[in-house]
Structure 1
Amino acid sequence: MEPKLQIRVQRYGWDAAAELYEDGWCDPLAPAQETLLKVAAIKPGERVIEAACGSGLVTKAVASAVGPAGAVLATDLSQNMVDLTARTCAEAGYGWVTTARMSADDLAVEPESFDAAVCALGLMYVPDPGKAALSMARAVRTGGRVVATVWGERRNCGWAEIFPIVDARVVSEVCPLFFASGTPGSLRRDFEQAGLRHVEEHRQRETLEFAHERSLLSAMLQGGPVALAVKRFTPETIKEVEAEFLDSVKDHRAPDGSYRIPGEFVTVIGYR
């Protein structure tokens, strides 16, 4: 897919998923987000830029860490996600958070104006993750750090069949190369090529828990990366997709009807 088209698809896709994303993914993604925050070690008074902030789950944690003496700029490609983050941060009393619509690979900020740049599970959607790593690196001061978390290897993510199932019903791929950054050493190389030093890679296996069939389907179809394609499907097609996807994860269904699906995450840190 041509990069500009991919960015446009992602923008409208996440606009479509914004309202359901947090409900579906808050708990399953918490362990990965906690790792990112631990590795980033955000301190009171720091200035932090976040790329691909989504609904603001990590934004609020970063805002709490820097406190009112610090500042957070939360950016996302989707205006609906930006608006949602701005609203929830304001409701939480984080007046030191500002938001802006920006793509992770083109952060329009002054060079070296932040202490840290973070991105939680956003670089898989960027046409060129290396370009995003470079954009984040430029935003931080000398000695500052860049931290990003992505999904790991496809074979270690039990929900991965959602992509070919949806792709079979649309003209172009929904998320080309989604798992590419999760292959061993891939994101680490992107960071090193962006000029970052002392780069470290952390891999973790987790179990994604969904309370029941409907919460799983809502997260995967309406609140995730295939949301734009699903909105265009007929009710009959949606039923077909749901049935195929549930069959692909049937081995992860517990006797009580909940789902416990394996997942892998990769977190990388580098210093400017």
Structure 2
Amino acid sequence: MEARLQRRVQRYGWDRAAAHYDAHWRHQLRPCHDRTLAMAALRPRESVIELACGTGQVTFAAAAAVGPTGRVCATDISEAMIATAREQAAARGIANVEFERIDAEQVAATARRFDAGLCALGLMYFPDPEGALARLGRVLRPGGRVTVSVWGRRECCGWADLFPIVDARVESEVCPLFFRLGTEGALDRAFEAAGFTGFRAERIGAELRYRDDHDACAAAFLGGPVALAYGRFDAATRADVDAEYLASIARYRGGCGYAIPGEFVIATARVPD
């Protein structure tokens, strides 16, 4: 897909998903988010830039780690995601975070001013992830570090059929190379191409647990990356899509609920001194 069109699909798709995202994904993504923050090893008084911050699931923990004398600049392509995150920050009285709606691939590169960069489960959506990493590196101080997480290998993610199920019904592929960065060696090559050093990565398994059919479908189609396409389907098409997706995850069903396997890759590297 042409990069400009893919960015528009991402922007308006996540606008649609924003209202459902926390309810269906906060708990499911917690192990990945916790490990991402642990590998980032943020310290008091540090300045942090976050790409693809979503509703702030990682942002607020990062803000706590750097403390009141630190700061977090959190960015996302989706206005609705940013608005939700701002509301939550205000409700929690979090004052050391600023939110900005911006395409991650257009992050200003005029000065090195951040100690650390974060991107939790966002990099695989970018049309040019290597370019985004390079631009991120240019806004970090020498020795600054970046920590990212992505979904892992397609064969290790039991929910992966949702992409071809949706794409069979609409000619607008949400993310053509979604699982590319989760393959062996892909992230280290991306970091190397972007000029980082000291790369290290971990691969962790996870289980996505859903109470019932409705919960599983809502996470996949209302709060996730295919929300824009799904929202344009008529009722009959939605019913067909739901049924096909449930059939694809049937082997992970136990009683009324589901325990669907997933995999994450978490990596960190630094800007040369």
**TM-score where L is the length of structure 2:** 0.97
Counterparts of 1:178-193 in structure 2, within 5 Å, are: 178-193=178-193
Partners of 2:212 and 2:61 in 1: how far apart? Answer: 28
One-letter amino acid of the counterpart of residue 24, structure 2: G
Q: How much has 1:193 moved relative to structure 2?
A: 1.2
Q: How much has 1:174 moved relative to structure 2?
A: 1.8
Does structure 1 conserve the Cα–Cα contact (< 8 Å) formed by 2:109 and 2:136? no
Partners of 1:181 and 1:241 in 2: how far apart? Answer: 27
One-letter amino acid of the counterpart of residue 148, structure 1: V
One-letter amino acid of the counterpart of residue 266, structure 1: V
Q: How much has 1:108 moved relative to structure 2?
A: 2.1
Partners of 1:135 and 1:100 in 2: how far apart? Answer: 17
Cα deviations by residue, 1:32-64 (Å, 9 ceiling, x for unpaired): 011100000111111000000011100111011
Counterpart of 1:75 in structure 2 is 75
Counterparts of 1:110-121 in structure 2, within 5 Å, are: 110-121=110-121
Over aligned residues, Cα RMSD in angstroms? Answer: 0.9
Cα deviations by residue, 1:93-146 (Å, 9 ceiling, x for unpaired): 111110101112221254311000000000111001101111211121111101
Counterpart of 1:247 in structure 2 is 247
Counterpart of 2:267 in structure 1 is 268
Q: How much has 1:172 moved relative to structure 2?
A: 2.3
Counterparts of 1:49-128 in structure 2, within 5 Å, are: 49-108=49-108, 110-128=110-128
Unmatched 5+ stretches in structure 1: none
Q: How much has 1:86 moved relative to structure 2?
A: 1.1
Partners of 1:46 and 1:61 in 2: how far apart? Answer: 13
Q: Secondary structure at the match of 1:72?
A: strand
Counterpart of 1:155 in structure 2 is 155
Matched length? 271
Partners of 1:98 and 1:212 in 2: how far apart? Answer: 37
Counterpart of 1:222 in structure 2 is 222
Unmatched 5+ stretches in structure 2: none
One-letter amino acid of the counterpart of residue 52, structure 1: A
**TM-score where L is the length of structure 1:** 0.98
Partners of 1:55 and 1:31 in 2: how far apart? Answer: 17
Q: Secondary structure at the match of 2:104?
A: coil
Q: Secondary structure at the match of 2:254?
A: coil
Does structure 1 conserve the Cα–Cα contact (< 8 Å) formed by 2:109 and 2:135? no
